[in-house]
Amino acid sequence: MSGETARLPAANNPFGARTALMLVLFGACVFVALLWMIGNGLGTGDANDGGAHAEGRGLNGYAAFARLLEQGGHAVRRSRSAAAFDEPGLLILTPPPRTKGAEIAKAVERHRLHGPTLVITPKWLAAPTTPADTSAKRGWVRLAGASGPNWPGFLDQVTLEEGAAESEAAMHWHSRTVTGRFPVRRHIMSGEGLSLVPLVTGGTGAIHAAYLADGNFPTLAALEPGKPTAYGEAFGDDDEEEGAAYPLVIVFDPDLLDNYGMASLPSAQLAEALVDATAGKDGPVVFDLTLNGLGFQASLLTLAFTPPFLAATLCLLLAAGAVGWRAFLRFGPPQTPGRAIAFGKRALVTNSAGLIVRSRRYHLLGVPYAEAARQRLARAFALPRGGDAQDELDALDLAAQSAGAGSHAFSQAAARLGQARNPRDLVKAAADLHALERTLTR
């Protein structure tokens, strides 16, 4: 290897300006999306916990019902917020047995001002599967019996009964358009009440699904078993607008719509007909999860993505984008600033001169400069130390005269320097004295 120092090539930057911009934009978009998901409760995890709700995939759940409506053209949403009670569309409530009736009644009353409501009563006592059930999937359950709900404060005029089918014919249910069969002979639920209009009945005339008779709802009346004229005779003409604005449908036996019942084609046909008659052919459907304990509380992040605070959030995002763009335009290592006070005599003289200029004390410079020049010349001519200053001036004037500078040249130059009061006169007098000093020491 030669004695010369080898110079290594500069390493290339692995990230170009365009790549860095894409990384920053991707990270910013993911971060904003994460905040939005947290604020709207979308990051709470999988709700397939074996419960009787739209996320449940066990026998008692309604995941198949929700999937059927999605494939049928309905806009299906699973809501974890009570704000869905004030939104249009069909609201489907699947409250568990221990829900307070007042909470259900409040939700129904709020939503019936905006859209129809369908309430499915619970029946099955479900237990999660054990690790010994190696063939069971996550969310599957074991049915350990049945028990009707106790909801005082909600439809107290309606009673719920549990029975068993004594014959094969009694296991069948009937609607106006379709006939199906319950999956089990026991634990068949039905309801009774003078305010109920039957939609699904059993072989013995029991009511398994109905709507509340507090208004005229022609689309539901078309699903009633029997003569369609019975609705007009009982509640008036179809074009009369009386009672509630939107209907309330109650399904007393959940096996008509849950995953257990959805294993049969008639149940799927009944579900489509019931929802189409209640919400419209392609109307939106919202499955409520708050009554099942899967709701979330509104936070500051929720407010940040909700009007009118959404405007402020957008302004902050635009400001952050502007700051990021300015930073991208300055892409590269920042320039290292120089020292405020540099090293060396030149920097010391420059800083001292700047201080004198700012202080404007020019009259204090002439005499010290002339005295310094006199002392340098005294050392150069080997004049005795500690002598009289006037004797030194006379000797320097004599030397200047001998050099052809004129009589009293040094004394006159020093006097002009001491009398200077502005920078121009001071610099000119100092330059004349410096030139004389060089002449004498040459």
Same domain? For 166 and 33 the reply is no
Separation CA 288–CA 257 (nearest Å)? 15
Tell me: do 315 and 326 sit in the same domain: yes
- What tokens appear for 215 in the block? 């208004």
What range defines the domain where residue 368 resides? 345-441
In a domain, 12, yes or no: no
Polymer length in residues for the chain? 442
**CA-closest candidate to residue 171, choices 261, 248, 52:** 261
Do 197 and 85 fall within a single domain?
A: yes
Q: Read off the pLDDT of each residue in 284-295 and give the average, rounded to a whole number.
A: 91
Contact 211, 217 (CB under 8 A): yes
End residue of a domain, out of 267, 293, 319: 293
Asked whether residue 133 is domain-assigned, the answer is: no
Does some domain include residue 273?
yes
At residue 45, the pLDDT reads 57
Number of domains into which the chain is organized? 3
Same domain, 25 and 171: no
Q: Angle CA(433)–CA(438)–CA(442) in degrees, nearest 5?
A: 155
Residue 7 reports pLDDT greater than 50: no
Instruction: For residues 77 and 416, give the distance between their C-alpha atoms in angstroms, rounded to a whole number.
Output: 97
Rounded CA gap, 305 and 203, in Å?
A: 52
**What's the CA gap between 165 and 177, in Å, rounded?**
22
Q: Which of 61-70, 141-150, 352-361, 368-377 has the highest mean pLDDT?
A: 61-70
Same domain, residue pair 428 and 414? yes
Does 191 map to a domain? yes
Q: How far apart are CA 60 and CA 253, in angstroms?
A: 11
Model pTM score: 0.61
Same domain, 384 and 403: yes
pLDDT higher than threshold 90 for residue 249: yes
Shared domain check, 271 and 378? no
Would you place residue 12 in the very low, low, confident or very high pLDDT band (cuts 50, 70, 90)? low
Residue 22 has pLDDT above 60, yes or no: yes
Average pLDDT over residues 392-408: 81
Q: How confident is the model at residue 64 (pLDDT cuts 50, 70, 90)?
A: very high
Q: Is the pLDDT of residue 312 over 60?
A: yes
The single-letter code of the amino acid at 189 is M
In a domain, 278, yes or no: yes
What pLDDT shows up at residue 8? 43
pLDDT of 240 reads 43
Q: pLDDT value at position 153?
A: 93
Asked, for residue 22, whether it belongs to a domain, the answer is yes
User: Could you tell me which of 286, 219, 283 has the C-alpha nearest to residue 74?
Assistant: 283
Can you read off the two tokens belonging to residue 21? 């911009």
- Dihedral Cα 239, 245, 251, 256, nearest 10 deg: 60
Whether residues 171 and 245 share a domain: the answer is: yes
Instruction: List the structure tokens of 190.
Output: 């039905």
Q: What is the pLDDT of residue 110?
A: 95
The whole-number pLDDT of residue 234 equals 35
Considering 331, 358, 381, which residue would you say is the last residue of a domain? 331
* pLDDT at residue 239 is higher than 50: no
The reported pLDDT for the residue numbered 229 is: 36
HEC letters along 281-303:
CCCCEEEECCCCCCCCCCCHHHH
pLDDT confidence of residue 242: 55
Check whether 232 has a pLDDT greater than 80.
no
Say what the pLDDT of residue 230 is.
37
pLDDT band at 103 (very low <50, low <70, confident <90, very high): very high
Residue 409 has a pLDDT of 83
Whole-number pLDDT of residue 42: 59
Does one domain contain both 308 and 362? no
Looking at the predicted structure, is the pLDDT value of residue 35 above 70? yes
Quick one: what percent of the chain has pLDDT higher than 70?
86
Residue 407 domain-assigned (yes or no): yes
Q: From residue 442, how far is each of 13, 301, 380, 400, 438 by CA, in Å?
A: 60, 85, 10, 12, 6
Same domain, 173 and 318: no
Rounded CA-CA distance 332/391 in Å is 68
What is the pLDDT of the chain when averaged over all its residues? Answer: 83
Taking the C-alpha atoms of residue 232 and residue 228, their distance in angstroms, rounded to an integer, is 8
pLDDT confidence of residue 38 = 67
End-to-end CA distance of the chain: 53
15 pLDDT band, cuts 50/70/90, is low
Quote the pLDDT of residue 51. 87
Q: Domain check: are 117 and 219 in the same one?
A: yes
Is residue 381 situated within a structural domain? yes
Q: Ranked by mean pLDDT, which of 23-27, 224-228, 252-256, 296-300 comes out on top?
A: 252-256
Residues 249 and 361 in one domain: no
